Amino acid sequence: MEELKKTCLYDSHIALGAQMSPFGGFMMPIQYSDIISEHNAVRHACGMFDVSHMGEIFVSGPDAERFANHIFTNDVSGMIPGKILYGMMLYPDGGTVDDLLVYRLPQTFLFVVNAANIDKDFAWMKQAAEGWNVSVENRSEEWGEIALQGPEAESMAAKALGMDLSDLVFYTFKEVGNVLVSRTGYTGEDGFEFYASAEEIRRIWDALLSAGTVPCGLGCRDTLRFEVGLPLYGHELGENISPLEAGLGIFVKLDKEEFIGKEATAALKADGLKRKIVGIELEDKAIPRSGYPVEIDGRQIGEVTTGYNSISTGKSVCMAMLDAEFAVPGTNVEIRIRKKTFPGKVCKKRFYDKNYKRN
């Protein structure tokens, strides 16, 4: 059995009494107090997450921009330093290698990838780089990362860290001393992500903690991202799930000259989608979990990918992959939870509105 990795903040999580659990090859905090309190702290004030398990892969060299465009669905051409794009890397058949952020640095591109996919993504990128004049470096071990999220994140960064981040808008970043700070996150709220050395990350964490920031675990990171319709790799995206099926076509630039997976994705779009990720709201308080069947008149038409009793809305909701003919808002469906079925209705997959600083 593979030994689980620990982030640079592991000792702090233990000292704070966090409930720890394996995630993406790391031993990570799931919660410190309880998921509801931590979730609400982010929605209404601010909370912070250890996301040092995320991967940082750098692409540099004369062909860096063209290569980044070759392996990434969004369009990095002409991207200026300080900008960030969201998108995917695809297999030739159109399935998703990973969803990720690409940061444009002065000399390099930084690919921030999902923790469980670091080794796979790096191997995929190295293989794709054969014949290109680029260097692909996995520097995930050198970096720690903290996400500070919530409507009070900007004022907390100023108070606790002495950082004025008011000039950053959504999906931009800057370097503050030896810290890379971006206005990004995975919660649907305003906030920042701090990338730095292990020593610096521990200093930032302690300063935020001392200033009263609520430490939050991966439990509420999932409930927060889910409520605003953000995908989780392995659930709403995967090797056999196209970004088009996940409703993320806006991040797939089919008008680009080429990228890996373009032909398959264009063909899928031209042929028409056979299935789609949608939202479903249940009439009951039963909680639909990943893998539960979605039915109409006893016939399975899909399955749940993520489901919760939404903390922010109080409704039992889920995202589900459905046969396309039934993926229409207002369609009545049933979700099978063990031996019983519970009525629900197809709806948009964003159950709570995002609150970002866009300008």
pLDDT, averaged in runs of 10, over the chain (359 residues)? 88 98 96 98 98 98 98 97 98 98 97 97 98 98 97 98 97 97 97 98 98 98 97 97 98 97 98 97 93 96 97 96 97 95 96 81
CATH number of the domain that residue 47 is part of: 3.30.1360.120
CATH number of the domain that residue 60 is part of: 3.30.70.1400
Residue 245 lies in a domain: no
103 and 134 within one domain: yes
pTM for this structure?
0.96
Tokens of 126: 């190295």
Residue 264 lies in a domain: no
67 and 43 within one domain: no
* Rounded Cα distance, 299 and 69, in Å: 42
Residue 357 pLDDT: 75
211 and 154 within one domain: yes
127 and 164 within one domain: no
Number of domains in the chain: 3
Instruction: Order across the sheet with 179-182: list the strands.
Output: 173-176, 179-182, 191-196, 144-149, 47-50, 214-216
Residue 234 lies in a domain: no
Of the candidates 269, 280, 262, the one whose C-alpha atom is nearest the C-alpha of residue 226 is 280
18 and 126 within one domain: no
223 and 156 within one domain: yes
* Domain that includes residue 88, residue range: 55-138
Tens of pLDDT along 22-47? 999 999 999 999 999 999 999 999 99
Residue 1 pLDDT: 53
Residue 221 pLDDT: 97
Tokens of 275: 């299935």
* Rounded Cα distance, 122 and 137, in Å: 8
338 and 292 within one domain: yes
162 and 217 within one domain: yes
173 and 28 within one domain: yes
Residue 359 pLDDT: 62
Tens of pLDDT along 138-182? 999 999 999 999 999 999 999 999 999 999 999 999 999 999 999
Residue 284 pLDDT: 87
163 and 30 within one domain: yes
Residue 354 pLDDT: 82
305 and 164 within one domain: no
71 and 110 within one domain: yes
Residue 162 CB burial class (10 angstroms; 0-12, 13-18, ≥19): exposed
Residue 355 pLDDT: 84
Residue 237 lies in a domain: no
Q: What is the mean pLDDT of the chain?
A: 96
